[in-house]
Amino acid sequence: MCLCFCVDEDVYNSLYTACKTGNASAIQRILDDLEVPCTSAETADAGEIPVDARNGGKIQSAVSRLLCHRSRNSGTMLLHVASQCSHVTVVRLLLQHGADPSIK
């Protein structure tokens, strides 16, 4: 069985924009609806970001893996974007959903 979750790149871009603009309600809506099981790695070829739920033997949710994902363009994470824009409410929301502040 594939222990992964698939996140459409459009979803990531929506989260990125919401983090940049401080739209906490949009982020909450997206995160609430985010986990969608996938059955194959082919989704990467379809423009989706595969998010592996296995990490050192510990299972992480698709949400926390996505929040620790680096942007392909800038190399930053959503937590970085929100904190650089001083959106404290968004930063707290991301941390509550599993964003890892120790990742640089």
- Going from N- to C-terminal start, the domains of the chain cover 4-96
The residue type at 12: Y
User: pLDDT value at position 82?
Assistant: 95
**Segment 7-21 mean pLDDT:** 87
> Residue 82 in contact with residue 90, Cβ under 8 Å?
yes
Q: What is d(CA 56, CA 83) in angstroms, rounded to the nearest whole number?
A: 28
Task: Give the pLDDT band (50/70/90) at residue 60.
Answer: low
Q: What is d(CA 70, CA 22) in angstroms, rounded to the nearest whole number?
A: 19
- Over residues 68-100, the pLDDT tens digits come to 777 777 778 899 999 999 999 999 999 988 888
Q: Looking at the predicted structure, is the pLDDT value of residue 40 above 50?
A: no
The reply to whether the predicted model has a pTM over 0.75 is: no
CB atoms within 10 A of CB 18: 24
Q: Looking at the predicted structure, is the pLDDT value of residue 28 above 50?
A: yes
